[in-house]
Amino acid sequence: MKVKIKSAFLLIVTVFLWGSSFVFIKLGLEEVAPLTLGLLRFAIATPFLLLLVGLTSGFEGLFKGWRQMLILGLTGVTAYHAFQNIGMTMTSASESSIIIASNPILIALCSWYFLKEKISRIGAAGIILAFLGVVTIVARSGLSLGSSSMLGNLLCMGSVFSWTAYSVYGKQKLREASANEITAYSSLFGAILLAPPALILEGLKFPTSTVPWVSLLALGFLCSGIAYLFWYKALEDLPASEAGSYLFLIPVIASTLAYFVLGERLDPTFFFGASLVIAGVIMTTRSHHSS
C-alpha cells in the first residue's frame, strides 16, 4: 500500500508539471522555434539527469543498452516534442493538452497487447468514449486539413503515439535498467537527435528576453528532468495502463492555467469533448482497479 501511495504522489506531481508545461511551451514559442525549444529544454535537463545516474549507478548501462535507449530517446523526446511543439504553433494549449490526454487510452491498448495487461468490458467502453471525445476536440476547428488548427491538432496526435511507444517499450526496459538510467539516457539521445533538424531547419537561435528563458528553465529542470524521472519511478511499481490513467488530469491543469495565464477561451464544444475524454479515462481506470 505504501508503494501505491508513493507512486500516486509521484504521478500527481508529474501530471501537474506536465499540465503546466503547455503554458511554458506557449510562452517559449513566442520567441523560440519549436525544434530549438525542444532541444534547449533537454540540453538543460540532460546534464542534471546524467549527474544523478553518475552518482547512483555509474554509466555502464549506457554501453550495454544504447540501442534501446536510442529508441526511447527517438520516441519519447525527439518525435514527441517535435510533434507537440510544432503542433502548438498552430493550436491552443487547451486543445493540445486534451488531445495528448488521450495517451492513457492508447497506452492501455498497447499494454494489453504487448505487456498482457488486462482490459475489462467497462475499460473497453471507456476507451471508445474517450476516443470519441478526442475526435470531437480535433474536429471542432473544422474538418479541412487546410485548417492550421486542424493540422496542429493532428500533429499533437502524433505525439500521443510517440509517448505511448516510449511508455510501453520503456516499461519493458525497466527489467534491465533503472528509472534513472532510462530517463537520463533517453534524454541524452533525444537531444542529440533533435540537434541536426533544429540547426538545419531553424538555425538554432537562442532567446534574448527573460520570459522564454524562464520557460526553458522550468521545462528543462521541472517538466523534463523531475517529471520524466518521476514517471519512470512510478512505472517501476505500477502497470503502464494504471500509471497512464493519471494523465487525464493534464488537460484540467493545462486548460485552467491557459485560461488565467494566456487568456485562452474555452467554448462548449471543447468542454463536451473534454468531458468525454475524462469520463472515458475514469471508466478505464476504475475498471483496472476493480479487475
pLDDT tens digit string along 29-55? 999 999 999 999 999 999 999 999 998
Task: Please tell me which of 120-134, 159-173, 267-281 the model is most confident about, judged by mean pLDDT.
Answer: 159-173
| The pLDDT value given to residue 136 | 81
| The pLDDT value given to residue 59 | 87
Average pLDDT of the segment spanning 3-22: 90
| The pLDDT value given to residue 132 | 87
Q: Which residues contact 161 (CB under 8 A, 6 or more apart)?
A: 106
Total-model pTM: 0.85
Of 35-49, 62-76, 135-149, 233-247, the range with the lowest mean pLDDT is 135-149
Cα 245–Cα 217–Cα 258 angle in degrees, nearest 5: 55
> How far apart are the C-alpha atoms of 83 and 130, rounded to whole Å?
21
In this predicted structure, the answer to whether residue 288 has a pLDDT above a threshold of 60 is no
Positive or negative torsion for Cα 77, 82, 85, 91: negative
Summary mean pLDDT of the chain: 87
Average pLDDT of the segment spanning 233-257: 85
Q: What is the pLDDT of residues 87-144, one digit of tens each?
A: 999 988 888 888 887 888 888 889 888 998 887 888 888 888 888 887 787 676 554 4
Which of the two residues, 148 and 125, has the higher pLDDT score? 125
Of 76-80, 104-108, 204-208, the range with the lowest mean pLDDT is 104-108
> How far apart are the C-alpha atoms of 73 and 243, rounded to whole Å?
20
| The pLDDT value given to residue 147 | 54
What is the residue range of 27's domain?
2-290
Count the domains in the chain.
Answer: 1
